[in-house]
Structure 1
Amino acid sequence: MLELSEHIRIQLERCSDLPSLPAVAVQILKLAQSHTSTMGDVADAVGYDPALATKLLKIANSPLYGQRRKSGNIRQAVMLLGLNSTLMLTLSFSLFSSLRQQEERGLDYNAYWQRSLLSSTVARLLGRMPEEVSPEEAFLAALLQDIGMAVMDRAFDQFYQQMETDENRHSEIIEFERKQIDTDHAAVGAWLLNQWNFPEHLIEAVSGSHQTVDSKELARVSTLTECIALSGIIADGIIAVDKNQDDEPPASLRLGDDYESLIEELYEEIPVVEGLFEMSLLDNKYTDKVLTEAKNQMLMRGLSFSQELNASRQEMDRHEQRTQLLKKESMQDHLTGLSNRKHFDLALEEEFIHARKNGWPLSAIFIDLDKFKSINDKFGHTVGDSILKFSAKILSAYTRDQDAVFRYGGEEFLILLPGCSSEDATSAATRIVEAIRSNKLTLKSQHKISITCSAGVATLNTQQRFDNKELLIEAADHAMYAAKQNGGDSVMVYQQSLAKNYH
């Protein structure tokens, strides 16, 4: 499972065109997270959306649930389906209806929804086996397992148009994403669901949807995450045959015989799901062919081959994670845990380019601890180190998630604040100066040490157009020294007149 870099997270947060939850989905999600929700509450919420109510009645009366008595209204449907099943199904319907209206950029949304719905149908069948998994939760999680692709299609300009391969091959999409931005749509999708306040277990299932699953026997599939990961692999195998792709895996690879009955059940449910969601999942010309090949283990070999490829990719991921860990350690200050000067230089260049390109402000706060040398000489380097670590914690606590704090060297720190105006950066610097002044460091001897700092603020904006990144930091440095000359324990904002005094 990959994580998002700070740069990617900031870019996602700045995107104003991300998929959003429809109002009815927000209400349903609140009901799902409340321990006091009743069937009447859910029926009332669904009733406000006639299209959603019609869908729910249709699925309650469908062969998927095999009810002897037909549901004549929403309350009867909710009673027959059960509270949790109703919540998950209505979320699935409302999200599908809303997200399907998204404007296409570079992503093939027909292939996207084909895989999502096919995976959901498989996941619902898989979800009936483990006791801890709800089939409807599995359906919803599988439906959303690729939502990160829709996010990336909107957040990164012409992202998928850069692919030089068939977008129906999911493994190649993942490899392309990781090569381009060092993460994949599973991690991005999990980030979005977290923004939507989805339950943690659904977020984890989406995040782990690309993991390798030991699927030699279906009985071993025991968690929601495993159901979702396996549903995608099975869907990819079916799509490969449906598209008449001729990749022939080694004949020696086999999966268990219990997949045959699963595939047979799947093909009984596919027409029902197609009718409910009004979308074709497979080319009818190939339906008989796919089922026949599944029975003859051709599809099973394809699934096992996909598993082997996934295992190979996972080993590559582990190697990449080890490399990234070493890279992270090389960019971290070992004393304070903050990013170091090397990391700062890279981050500054990247943020400066983005700010200039997009026309948004970039602020820098240069901070220097007042009279640190005197304290160090009086109490020793051990106390000096404690002061640096103490100050680093305060800086981290008083900055935004999208800001980056660095130890620049010695007792100097730098904070980069992307998208932050000069006024807001000055307010942030003032809060930091006040926090360092008001928080005293208690030594083992119970002696308390008061420390203060000086802060300089400089901002790249329409008024201050710095020609390069070095001039921005130099300006913040000048402002910080002006604060020191003013007695310390204060904040100064860069003005061009300051530069003349410190040349």
Structure 2
Amino acid sequence: MSQFNRDEIEFVDIRTVVGRDSDLFAMPEAAVKILQLSERDEVNIEILSKLISRDPALAGRLLKISNSVSFGLSQRVTNIHKAVMVMGMTAVKCLVLSTAIFDPFKLSKELRIDIKGFYGNIISVATTCRKLAETSDYKNPGDAFTCGLLYEIGMLFLMQNYPVEYKTVLDRAMISGDLPGEEKKAFGIPHTEVGRLIAMKWRLPEDFVSAIGNHHSFGYRDSQQLDDIMRLAVALSLDYSVGPEIDLEEKIAKISSISARLNINNAQLDEITVTTISETLEFARALNIDIGDYDTVLSRANQEIFKTYMSIQKLFKERQELTRNILDEERQRGILEAKQVAISTLSHYINNAAMVIFGQSQVSRMMISNKSNEEVVASLPRMLDLIDDSVRKIVAVLEEISDMNMLDDVEYFDQSKIINIDDRIRERLAKISDVKPDESPVELRPSIK
């Protein structure tokens, strides 16, 4: 529809396009007439049934769908009139829409996506919606199923009508990791909002419109039940969708939060996911949509499980690295704290040694003034020993200060962040004066006679 430049995407105002165009998906005439008839306030079931019956392919699909396990009817449907009566107008309308838009030939090869996987994902979401609805006691599981079939109508519209532009959007999203952001740049709104606008234009029920428009959001405590059913189905379904992968932690958090709101436990979630593949295949056959055989779908599931395993492994490695960094930071903080404590202790040693030297100096002056020369000379050896001992302490402290940047292998005192300064100083003094490490230190207080 728009001119395309590979360097720059020509902006398309999708909001205006959806509001202006009457036939958004170029649907068959019968489907268009059925939609027009269904929009009336009072619908004649007989006329609607005859209209559907005029299109043998559409009628055949509708009967297959109504009798499939996915729709979950308790009685077998043998004619269109009964199908319309049993399924209800909303379900018939949505199924007509889904059969009309699920056309792989409308998706250009330019997109280079796994079309089978993409359609398989949509049907898987619909099937999961029904199972979640049943488990959470939703009022109409069939409505949840049909709503799930249309959850990606916004993306389908962009793919079918703007394939080249959307391929560029996908390529850019794989780099930026932000598909909604890239969609806004090219089309003004993300595909979820496109889907919401189309659902409103088709006059779908308000809860359908909300669920389709909010299927990627996290939701909140008071979310509508169908919104949460859709969100959880999308999060649980194997990620065959297009665009960048969802962050694993975000996905786990979303599943946990939404399942809690729906009062669904892990065992129930496991049961739902295990039984989804076979029902997805059955419904795809009813729609004549090729999503691959059982082995192919199972292979995709195994690939998804492997991707999840690799993501968990990567997450585990990141956690290990983070733990190491935290421990390193904690050790660095411990070393800094130890240095502060050590400096305080070393200052105390220097202060004591200086006071001894100062004290002996004062004693010497007093003795010179009051004692005879013989008495002064007799006292000098002890005074000099005290001064020598104090000088050695100061030297040992200075050496310890010079090693303060080498604390990685330091032994801390009694599992604390305090360095055992006393033992370290004693060992240095032993090296300086040949004093044995286990000997008591020299008395620091000066003796005045």
TM-score (norm 1): 0.46
Query: Could you say if the C-alpha distance between residues 9 and 166 of structure 1 is closer, same or farther in structure 2, counting changes exceeding 3 Å?
Result: closer
Match of 2:235 in 1: 233
Q: Return the offset for 1:48.
A: 1.6
Select 2:167's aligned residue among 161, 169, 172.
Answer: 161
Select 1:187's aligned residue among 167, 179, 193.
Answer: 193
Query: Could you say if the C-alpha distance between residues 69 and 29 of structure 1 is closer, same or farther in structure 2, counting changes exceeding 3 Å?
Result: same
**Matched AA of 2:208:** L
* Contiguous gaps of at least 5 residues in structure 2: 1-10, 257-264, 316-449
Q: Return the offset for 1:294.
A: 10
Match of 1:137 in 2: 143
Deviation track 1:424-482 (CA, whole Å, cap 9, x = no partner) reads: xxxxxxxxxxxxxxxxxxxxxxxxxxxxxxxxxxxxxxxxxxxxxxxxxxxxxxxxxxx
**Matched AA of 2:64:** K
Q: Return the offset for 1:49.
A: 1.3
- Whether contact under 8 Å (2:111, 2:159) holds in the other structure is yes
Aligned equivalents of 1:24, 1:106: Cα separation in 2: 29
- Whether contact under 8 Å (1:124, 1:138) holds in the other structure is yes
Select 1:121's aligned residue among 119, 124, 127.
Answer: 127
Deviation track 1:249-302 (CA, whole Å, cap 9, x = no partner) reads: 699978441211111231231221121122344674465577789999x69x98
Aligned equivalents of 1:150, 1:294: Cα separation in 2: 23
Q: Give the % identical residues.
A: 20
Aligned equivalents of 2:288, 2:16: Cα separation in 1: 37
Q: Return the offset for 1:121.
A: 2.0
Aligned equivalents of 2:176, 2:118: Cα separation in 1: 10
Match of 1:312 in 2: none
Match of 2:368 in 1: none
Match of 1:478 in 2: none
Match of 1:263 in 2: 273
Match of 1:82 in 2: 87
More helix as a share of residues: 2
- Whether contact under 8 Å (2:131, 2:272) holds in the other structure is yes
Number of residue pairs matched?
Answer: 289
Higher-RCO chain (CA-CA 8 Å, sequence separation at least 6) = 2
Match of 2:284 in 1: 274
Query: Could you say if the C-alpha distance between residues 75 and 192 of structure 1 is closer, same or farther in structure 2, counting changes exceeding 3 Å?
Result: closer
Aligned equivalents of 1:250, 1:103: Cα separation in 2: 30
- Whether contact under 8 Å (1:105, 1:154) holds in the other structure is no
- Whether contact under 8 Å (1:148, 1:192) holds in the other structure is yes
Q: Return the offset for 1:55.
A: 1.3
**Matched AA of 2:149:** L
Select 1:102's aligned residue among 103, 106, 109.
Answer: 106
Aligned equivalents of 1:262, 1:16: Cα separation in 2: 38
After the TM superposition, which residues 171-320 of structure 1 pair with which residues of structure 2 at under 5 Å, given as runs? 172-213=178-219, 223-235=225-237, 237-239=238-240, 255=256, 256-257=265-266, 258-281=268-291, 284-285=294-295, 287=297
* Contiguous gaps of at least 5 residues in structure 1: 306-503
2:106 partner SS: coil
1:159 partner SS: helix
Query: Could you say if the C-alpha distance between residues 169 and 189 of structure 1 is closer, same or farther in structure 2, counting changes exceeding 3 Å?
Result: farther
More strand as a share of residues: 1
**Matched AA of 2:50:** D
Q: Return the offset for 1:47.
A: 1.0
- Whether contact under 8 Å (2:127, 2:276) holds in the other structure is yes
Q: CA RMSD in A?
A: 4.8
- Whether contact under 8 Å (2:70, 2:145) holds in the other structure is no
Q: Return the offset for 1:135.
A: 3.0
Larger Rg: 2
Match of 1:426 in 2: none
**Matched AA of 1:277:** L
Query: Could you say if the C-alpha distance between residues 73 and 248 of structure 1 is closer, same or farther in structure 2, counting changes exceeding 3 Å?
Result: closer
- Whether contact under 8 Å (1:105, 1:158) holds in the other structure is no
Query: Could you say if the C-alpha distance between residues 158 and 145 of structure 1 is closer, same or farther in structure 2, counting changes exceeding 3 Å?
Result: same
